[in-house]
Chain A
Amino acid sequence: EAGVTQSPTHLIKTRGQQATLRCSPISGHTSVYWYQQALGLGLQFLLWYDEGEERNRGNFPPRFSGRQFPNYSSELNVNALELEDSALYLCASSLGTSGGDNEQFFGPGTRLTVL
């Protein structure tokens, strides 16, 4: 069974541009999560989508946005890129049940570099 996939693997943009990152969850998973792993800042929760709806977002500005498609894949958009947006962006998926142990499975990540 295929795991969580992310594309592209690497993305280089310049300040002020927009970046689009994509994620395909494990088959049967309805929840998708996005996390940012910036150097020295650990893993920070960005967004959670379930059944096509945004369910929760972390403490990030509105220029971080995304969506979930009917096939449960997801897109993360970062507008007006800033240098500090350079990070590894990790996508995870889960069965999306409320409660329970919420086991999340992670993709390999997209390395975004802003020049």
Chain B
Amino acid sequence: GDSVTQMEGPVTLSEEAFLTINCTYTATGYPSLFWYVQYPGEGLQLLLKATKADDKGSNKGFEATYRKETTSFHLEKGSVQVSDSAVYFCALSDPYQGAQKLVFGQGTRLTINP
């Protein structure tokens, strides 16, 4: 079945550092790919998405490019802030499986120190 593998955490960085969180997937169809963020004590918020190969999703300085050849959707940000501290989830949706569910990676906890 479909699956998502995320970089193990936790990740701790200093403010203004460069961030990469790796995400790879396996899917039988042509999935849509998502990054969700969960701030402490809150539910999930969609951070960005990409629906087809070579699409780049971007939001709040974060970017991720849908790479079909490497089945990857790595999250990047050039200069992180303390407010970016959260848990980040990579996810896919494969409608060709006949299901609309999201399949999530395990999540990566990010802590940014001032």
Q: Please tell me if the beta carbons of A100 and B89 are within 8 angstroms of each other in the complex.
A: no
B51 to A, closest residue via Cβ: A101
Q: How many residues of A are in contact with the other chain, CB < 8 A?
A: 28
A residues within 8 A CB of B104? 42-44
A residues within 8 A CB of B99? 48, 55-56
A residues within 8 A CB of B103? 45
Interface Cβ pair total, 8 Å cutoff: 67
For the residues of A in contact with B, the DSSP-based class is strand
Alpha-carbon gap, A109 to B34, bound state (A)? 20
Alpha-carbon gap, A42 to B96, bound state (A)? 24
A residues within 8 A CB of B95? 98-100, 102
B residues within 8 A CB of A101? 32, 49, 51, 93
Contact size range, B: 20 to 34
A residues within 8 A CB of B69? none
Q: Please tell me if the beta carbons of B51 and A55 are within 8 angstroms of each other in the complex.
A: no
Q: Please tell me if the beta carbons of B106 and A42 are within 8 angstroms of each other in the complex.
A: yes
Q: Please tell me if the beta carbons of B43 and A109 are within 8 angstroms of each other in the complex.
A: yes
> Which A residues contact B (CB, under 8 angstroms)?
31, 33, 35, 42-45, 48, 50, 55-56, 58, 90, 92, 94, 96, 98-109
